[in-house]
Amino acid sequence: MNHYQQDQMMLISQLFPASAHAYTDTVSQQVEKKPRRKRNKKSKGGENTANEMNKKRKLSEKQMILLEQHFGNEHKLESERKDKLAMELGLDPRQVAVWFQNRRARWKNKKLEEEYTNLKKFHESTMLEKCLLETEVLKLREQLSEAEKEIQRLREHVEVVPTNSSSTSSMSQSMEVMEPPPFFDEFEVDNVYNDNVFLMPYFNGIEWTYI
């Protein structure tokens, strides 16, 4: 399995978590061929790479809270507010600026994620509604067909039909603007997905051709 396939699996599993579960399991077993980790017994000697006591940080809880508070009020940071905040926090103004920059960048990603999940849910419900509508259309067509048959049958039993006998023909013409063929002619618009709606929802992804 290459990464593109893996990517698609991820994508599909997000829409259909249940179905992807089994797949994932079989896959992970496949990958299980070789022992992934070997005991290396690296020494704990302190001569590790460049990192002794010199750098890195971790802001305190209080600092984080204050920063988040200010960020919630305003994502941008003017010089004045920066200096004031740095003073309050006991931090270098540079640090405050960096914090805000990073916070903005990561907020973007977080928001994207949230929007994705929202869109996904909305899309799923839309798909369901569409499905229901499709069945309804079929049902209505069936009923309409029955009705037309009934009308035909009734007309054969009617001897005299002097007045407006064109009511049925007028009704099928009245809606011609929206959907020209009245009956089982065109289902193509939906038939693209009718049969595989729940199997392959993403049809227009460029790199989705492997599934």
Partner DNA sequence: TAGGGTAATGTAATGATGTGA
Partner DNA sequence: ATCACATCATTACATTACCCT
Task: List interacting residues with DNA (CB under 7 A).
Answer: 1-3, 6, 30-32, 35-42, 44, 49-51, 55-59, 64, 75-79, 82, 94-95, 97-106, 108
| Residue 87 binds to a copy of itself (criterion: CB under 8 A) | no
Least CB distance to a copy of itself at residue 60 (A)? 18
Q: Which does 104 bind (CB under 5 to 8 A by kind): DNA, a copy of itself, none?
A: DNA
Only segment of 19-27, 61-69, 199-207 that touches a copy of itself (CB under 8 A): 199-207
Q: Which does 135 bind (CB under 5 to 8 A by kind): DNA, a copy of itself, none?
A: a copy of itself
Q: Which does 208 bind (CB under 5 to 8 A by kind): DNA, a copy of itself, none?
A: a copy of itself
Only segment of 20-28, 61-69, 116-124 that touches a copy of itself (CB under 8 A): 116-124
Least CB distance to DNA at residue 46 (A)? 13
Nearest-angstrom CA–CA distance, 199 and 161: 52
